[in-house]
Copies of this chain bind each other. A is one copy, B any other.
Amino acid sequence: MTELKILREARRIIHNHISYTPILYSTLLNEKYGAKVLFKCENFQITGSFKLRGAYYSAFKKIQRTGKTSLAGHSSGNFAQALAKTAHLMGVESTIVMPGNAPEIKVEGVKRWNGKIIYSENSPQSREAKLHEFINQHPEAIYMHPSDDMDMIYGNSTAVQELIEEESDIEIVIVPVGGGGILAGAALASKNLLPKIKVYGAEPSGADDAARSFRTGKIVPSVEPQTIADGLRTQLGKNNFPIIQSLVTDILTVSEADIITSMKDIYQYLKIVIEPSSAVPLAVIRKNPQLFSNKRIGIIITGGNIDLVNLAQIFK
C-alpha cells in the first residue's frame, strides 16, 4: 500500500469506533493572539485524549497480523486508558504496567474497561522491565508501544486528517511533542493530504529533548524533564524521529509561565477543560509572532485528562 492508502485505511478503520471530534475557535482569543486558530478538540475524544486513535488502529493491525488475543503496554498517562478501552471495544484482554505513583483517576480509567494493572517502580526502566517480563510469560500478548510505532503513528494521523479535510485553508499545524507520535502523524497527514501546510512541534523548554534532537540530528534522551505538561516528558523514538526530521518545519519551545498563560486563556475563552500539554501550541503562537501573525493555524488539543486538584494548583 502507498502511504496515502494506509492513512485512508486508518481513517476508515477507526471511523465507527472513535469520536469525530469538533473544531472550536474563539474570535476574542484570535484577537488576543493575532492569528486565526482552530482547535481540534481531542479532549472530547473517548477516554479524553487522541491516544485512542493510535491504540485502536495499531491493535487492529497487530491482531490481524499475528492472530494474538491480548494487548499489553506500559503507561502512566493517557495511553493506559486508551489501551484498556481499545481492548474492551475489540473484545480482547489488556494488561497495563503502571507506576505505583500513577494518579488514582488514571488507574480508575483503566479498571473501568477491565484493564489488568501490574504495578512497577516509578522509573521508566522498571516499567519497561515489568512489561517485558509479562510479555515473555504470555506469548499471546501483543506489545503495544505508546508512540514509537508506525501503526500508532498512522492511527494518530487521523486527528490531523480530519482537521485538514474540514478546514482545507489552514496554513500551519502545531501539535505538542512528547514521544513524537502525534507530531509524526501530523507530518504524514500533511505531506499526503495538503503538503503546502507547515507542521511545527511545540515543547516545554523544561523538557526540550525533541527540540534538541531536531537541531542535532540525533535522539537526545529526556533526562529529568521539568514541566507541568506531564504528557510531554517522554522522548522521541527511532520510528517517528526520521519522519519528524524530514517533514517538520521546526520544534519551538516555551516556558512554564507561557504554558500556564495559554492554558488559562483556553479555559476562559474556549470554555473547555484541557490538560497542560494541550496549551503548549497556543503558547508557541504567542511567543513567535514573526512566524504566526495573521496565519490560519490548526492546533490539536491532545487531551483533557487533568486531576482537578492539580488544576486548582495551577490556577490558584
Contacts from A to B (Cβ < 8 Å): 22, 24, 28, 43-44, 48, 105, 112, 264, 267-268, 270-274, 304, 308-309, 311-316
Contacts and interface: CB of A to CB of B under 8 A. Distances in A.
B271 A48 contact: yes
Contacts of A273: 267-268, 270-273
Please state the number of chain copies in the assembly: 2
29 contacts: A22-B22, A43-B271, A44-B271, A48-B271, A105-B268, A264-B308, A267-B273, A267-B308, A267-B311, A268-B273, A268-B308, A271-B273, A271-B274, A271-B304, A272-B272, A272-B273, A273-B273, A308-B315, A309-B315, A309-B316, A311-B312, A311-B315, A312-B312, A312-B313, A312-B314, A312-B315, A312-B316, A313-B316, A316-B316
A78 to B, nearest CB: 13
Nearest to A31: B112
Nearest to A43: B271
Given A271-B272, A272-B271, A112 B312 contact: no
A314 B309 CA distance: 9
Interface centre among A43, A273, A304 (most CB of B within 10 A): A273
A48 B48 CA distance: 23
B309 A112 contact: no
Contacts of A309: 315-316
Contacts of A312: 311-316
A237 B270 CA distance: 33
Nearest to A308: B315
A308 B315 CA distance: 6
A204 to B, nearest CB: 20
Contacts of A314: 312
Nearest to A273: B271
Nearest to A314: B312
